[in-house]
């Protein structure tokens, strides 16, 4: 069976580039479930949650895309298949959100908060694992498998 890559849902995984071991473990499992469900992982291509989620995705044979803040593809972590250097710094967050059918936020700081806000403003679902506690908008998941399932069930493109 031939799969057309443009038919696969792109799921954004966002979180801190400097994550705790627990957050990296959650992110890696999220990446594995994304690959298991036949989706493509999109993130910022660097370290922490980004690296861990991409590593998990690759362990299950999945495809990863990283929108990098700088101008060199060499900055991408080794688990990124398609590295897109944007030269846009934090403004790349908009590209990550716009390319994705929805986001899974794992922990995160203000950069993650900006991605969450952009996604919610654009009507995209956001599922959270140990992330920001906002009054509304973020769907809480009990584990990484549920996080991926919620995104796939709530998106039109999936």
CB contact set of 55 (below 8 Å; sequence gap of 6+): 28, 31, 77, 79
pLDDT digits (tens, 9 = 90+) for 92-114: 999 999 999 999 999 999 999 99
Q: Give the length of the chain.
A: 158
Report H helices in the chain.
21-36, 49-59, 92-99, 110-121, 144-154
Query: For residue 158, what pLDDT is reported?
Result: 47
User: What is the rounded average pLDDT of the residues 129-154?
Assistant: 95
CB contact set of 53 (below 8 Å; sequence gap of 6+): 13, 15, 27, 28, 30, 31, 34, 41, 43, 106
DSSP letter at 76 equals S
Kindly tell me if the per-residue pLDDT of 157 is higher than 70: no
- Cα angle 132-80-85, degrees, rounded to a multiple of 5: 85
Q: Which residue has the higher pLDDT, 126 or 156?
A: 126
**What does residue 131 show for φ and ψ, rounded to 5 degrees?**
-120, -165
Query: For residue 14, what pLDDT is reported?
Result: 98
- The answer to whether domain 11-98+110-153 has CATH 3.40.50.450 is yes
Query: For residue 39, what pLDDT is reported?
Result: 98
The whole model's pTM is what? 0.95
Are 66 and 41 a contacting pair, CB within 8 Å? no
Which among 67, 17, 11 is positioned nearest to 36, based on CA atoms?
A: 11
pLDDT digits (tens, 9 = 90+) for 18-46: 999 999 999 999 999 999 999 999 999 99
């Amino acid at each position: 069976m031939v799969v057309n890559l443009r038919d696969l849902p792109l799921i954004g995984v966002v979180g801190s580039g400097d994550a705790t071991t627990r957050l990296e473990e959650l992110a890696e499992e999220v990446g594995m479930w994304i690959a298991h469900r036949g989706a493509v992982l999109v993130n910022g291509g660097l370290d922490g949650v980004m690296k861990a989620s991409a590593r998990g995705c690759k362990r299950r044979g999945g495809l990863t895309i990283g929108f990098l803040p700088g101008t060199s593809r060499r900055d991408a972590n080794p688990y990124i298949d398609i590295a897109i250097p944007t030269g846009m710094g934090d403004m790349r967050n908009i590209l990550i959100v716009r390319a994705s059918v929805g986001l899974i936020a794992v922990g995160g700081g203000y950069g993650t908060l900006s991605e969450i806000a952009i996604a919610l403003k654009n009507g995209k679902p956001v599922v959270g694992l140990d992330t920001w506690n906002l009054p509304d908008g973020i769907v809480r998941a009990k584990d990484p498998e549920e996080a991926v399932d919620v995104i796939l069930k709530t998106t039109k493109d999936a």
